[in-house]
Amino acid sequence: MFDVSFTELMVIGVIALIVIGPERLPKVARTVGHLLGRAQRYVNDVKSDIQREIELDELRKFKSEMDDAASSVKTSLRETENSLRTNLNDTAREATQSISNLKKEVETPAGSADRPTAAGTPALDTAQPAATDTAAASTPTPAATDTAAVSADPATAPQPKTSTTP
């Protein structure tokens, strides 16, 4: 702070001793020491206050940067949400139209066997029964015989045997 050497302090001490006197010099030195200590604490407090203010300004800047980043992310998310909703609504509308078109195709008269289906292949005419092979249908397999007996009319199906013991 001040550029004071040891010799200059000695000169000041000798002058203070002559002017103040040896009786009051210790009391004055103590008072000057207290005043210098207070001044030093005050300077340190001011320095720490300034440092805190600088840190608070940095934190405010950082907070404002984070708020700006958060708001930009929020707007980006809203834009993405809106575009996804628009795409979803378009897809739902197209699906609804496709379903209604398929229903219209299904509800058309059964006489048109050449009408295209959704896949682009001609639809089968379901109004006429399909031809079956009578030889294959008349020769049942052993498993088919068991299931035929079970699924037959209950009056003609074989009943399980019950034993009665006297």
Residue 115 CB neighbour total at 10 angstroms: 14
**pTM (2 d.p.):** 0.39
Pick the more confident residue, 166 or 147: 166
Domain hosting residue 99, numbered range: 55-105
CA–CA separation, 86 and 97 (whole Å): 16
Residue 161 has pLDDT above 90, yes or no: no
Q: For 16-47, b where at least 16 C-beta lie within 10 A, e where not — what string?
A: eeeeeeeeeeeeeeeeeeeeeeeeeeeeeeee
Q: Are residues 20 and 65 in the same domain?
A: no
- Per residue in 61-75, pLDDT (tens digit) is 999 999 999 999 999
Residue 164 has pLDDT above 70, yes or no: no
| Residue 32: CATH number of its domain | 1.20.5
Average pLDDT value over all residues in the chain: 78
62 lies in some domain = yes
